Structure 1
């Protein structure tokens, strides 16, 4: 069998996997995924039909497997099995507690269809992989809270919840959840809040009660990243000159704080930000590496940083005097 037919066999098998995992698959999407022409995908679909696979659909609309048709379990490659083990370790450390038990159950089902040799591979290697997490775990008031939220998104049903703010006040909110995201060791909901008539993000561990209602969404929503926002909407341009030796330590946070440009100079790395947190969030982040940075602009950031340093110094001087 020559290389051409081996590639076709691999591609046809992968197309069958796509049909098993999605309700509708477009030929254009398959062509892009496998880097072939749409006409080639049409021929591959015909190959599957000739092999007795009951495919519904036609060129131009999309394809799906006949409802109720079952295929034997898919055989996994060794590389795929190893990726499952690593993913399981990540889920154990970083997944939300309301998803952890469901993922473990899913992994047990997956292990049950593996070849004997692959089961041995898992047993031999899983104790050699670990993920070290230095962040404290958060506890939620409600069991299975993330599945409730995700179900409401899928069903496009409103949620009502009792929410505790950072200041400690409690209020009832009706929201239409757009999505969930994980950031800086916390899970958040991005949602349209009917009380504020605007989009808000809510920390999941601050939800005291939550209920899925029968009320449908009032509007359609896009992807979660279309709505990620913070602050009051008034953005300020900030320019910093940062010593090159610490720039790698900022790689995970500088984009979060609004990095829009970065260029290397003889004196260091010149970073440009667009931030809405000029009086609080940004200067508090900057203070963590302020001895390696110079504020180029604006003047208000220099003043605010000086105030923070003065307040911190005064507080610790008072604590030392009390001791």
Structure 2
């Protein structure tokens, strides 16, 4: 067998060992799909690890795990992996929720502690050469560890009680079964089954005034958060805008995100039709970025929403004058 074969085998075995360290049970089928090899190859690689003295518990068909209590030396990272960590750290600093920051920073300190000295020099050189520009400052977290609390409730399958303030500043108490969290249009949301509404709802995390884990278990097996987010979007509003053509090149990357379904050209204008579920906040705040080049055709109440938003902005700008 050639040298390339052995290098590939070493890479596979190392990858399998990493998976065994990070998961409680690893199936041969999952490893085969991840590494793009046959299941028989995985069986042989597992045997190689066992022959090297790694105590692996399990068998073909059920899954493998490291014997409880067995400790491996720290994982060493490649130069490319270290560079990806630095970039990810910069993204986390700008876009993560405040309740996650301290935990991520602690994890990154542990990662940096085990990298080789040559990679530590690389970190010091590159850290100041990467930046992420965000135009929306982070808001202060009103509740400590709110997202970890939500994630713990998902892992433990227990209901949580929240005091939630809606867009009209009305507060209600809800008992919910959290499905997952997601980040969208500058805000973090929790997708959950609301026991009061008997339906799926998404709650903006910064509007949760209080949160408390309960001892009440839930038994529903929920799927991926994205699947339930789609199910919850069942009330879309049709919006029609007449937009000057000269501004259209600036909308190329955002118009579909906000629900564009059709465009119709007319003289120097473009009639744009949207179906959006963000009519209360997201869509108006996007529209205001090019409102001087657009006319609202429908719905009529969107004009009132825009007027209220622009009045609020005007008052905010001039409050110290």
Q: State if a TM-score over 0.5 links the two structures.
A: yes
Taking the aligned partners of 1:309 and 1:169, their CA distance within structure 2 comes to 21
SS of 1:195's partner is coil
Taking the aligned partners of 2:104 and 2:51, their CA distance within structure 1 comes to 37
CA contact (8 A) 1:158 1:216 kept: yes
Q: Quote the residue 1:72 is aligned against.
A: 73
State the Cα distance separating 1:158 from its structure 2 match: 0.6
Q: Quote the residue 2:147 is aligned against.
A: 146
State the Cα distance separating 1:234 from its structure 2 match: 5.4
Taking the aligned partners of 1:244 and 1:34, their CA distance within structure 2 comes to 49
CA contact (8 A) 2:179 2:192 kept: yes
Taking the aligned partners of 1:159 and 1:199, their CA distance within structure 2 comes to 14
Deviation larger for 136-145 or 155-164? 136-145
Taking the aligned partners of 2:288 and 2:164, their CA distance within structure 1 comes to 31
State the Cα distance separating 1:313 from its structure 2 match: 10
SS of 2:229's partner is coil
What is the TM-score normalised by the length of structure 1? 0.81
State the Cα distance separating 1:212 from its structure 2 match: 0.5
Q: Residue 62 in 1 paired to residue 88 in 2?
A: no
State the Cα distance separating 1:159 from its structure 2 match: 0.6
CA contact (8 A) 1:238 1:275 kept: no
Taking the aligned partners of 2:264 and 2:58, their CA distance within structure 1 comes to 52
SS of 1:176's partner is strand
Number of residue equivalences: 312
CA contact (8 A) 2:241 2:298 kept: no
Taking the aligned partners of 2:280 and 2:142, their CA distance within structure 1 comes to 32
Q: Quote the residue 2:111 is aligned against.
A: 110
SS of 2:19's partner is helix
Q: Quote the residue 1:211 is aligned against.
A: 212
Deviation larger for 134-143 or 78-87? 134-143
State the Cα distance separating 1:34 from its structure 2 match: 1.4
CA contact (8 A) 2:191 2:202 kept: yes
State the Cα distance separating 1:257 from its structure 2 match: 2.4
Q: 1:276 to 1:89 in 2, by over 3 A?
A: closer
CA contact (8 A) 2:90 2:132 kept: yes
Taking the aligned partners of 2:16 and 2:98, their CA distance within structure 1 comes to 34
CA contact (8 A) 1:173 1:194 kept: yes
Taking the aligned partners of 1:154 and 1:71, their CA distance within structure 2 comes to 26
What is the TM-score normalised by the length of structure 2? 0.82
Unaligned runs of 5+ in 2: 314-321
State the Cα distance separating 1:248 from its structure 2 match: 6.0
Q: Quote the residue 1:258 is aligned against.
A: 259
CA contact (8 A) 2:238 2:276 kept: yes
Q: Residue 233 in 1 paired to residue 235 in 2?
A: yes
CA contact (8 A) 2:242 2:269 kept: no
Q: Quote the residue 2:52 is aligned against.
A: 51
Taking the aligned partners of 1:256 and 1:76, their CA distance within structure 2 comes to 37
State the superposition RMSD in angstroms: 3.6
Q: Residue 198 in 1 paired to residue 194 in 2?
A: no
SS of 1:210's partner is strand
CA contact (8 A) 1:279 1:304 kept: no
State the Cα distance separating 1:122 from its structure 2 match: 1.0
Deviation larger for 206-215 or 31-40? 31-40
Q: Quote the residue 2:29 is aligned against.
A: 28
Q: 1:232 to 1:47 in 2, by over 3 A?
A: closer
SS of 1:227's partner is helix
State the Cα distance separating 1:149 from its structure 2 match: 0.8
Q: Quote the residue 2:89 is aligned against.
A: 88
Q: Quote the residue 2:138 is aligned against.
A: 137
Q: 1:76 to 1:234 in 2, by over 3 A?
A: closer
Deviation larger for 201-210 or 238-247? 238-247
CA contact (8 A) 1:85 1:126 kept: yes
Q: Quote the residue 1:15 is aligned against.
A: 16
State the Cα distance separating 1:246 from its structure 2 match: 3.9
CA contact (8 A) 2:190 2:205 kept: yes
Q: 1:290 to 1:93 in 2, by over 3 A?
A: closer
Taking the aligned partners of 1:166 and 1:87, their CA distance within structure 2 comes to 32
State the Cα distance separating 1:270 from its structure 2 match: 9.6
Taking the aligned partners of 1:294 and 1:93, their CA distance within structure 2 comes to 34
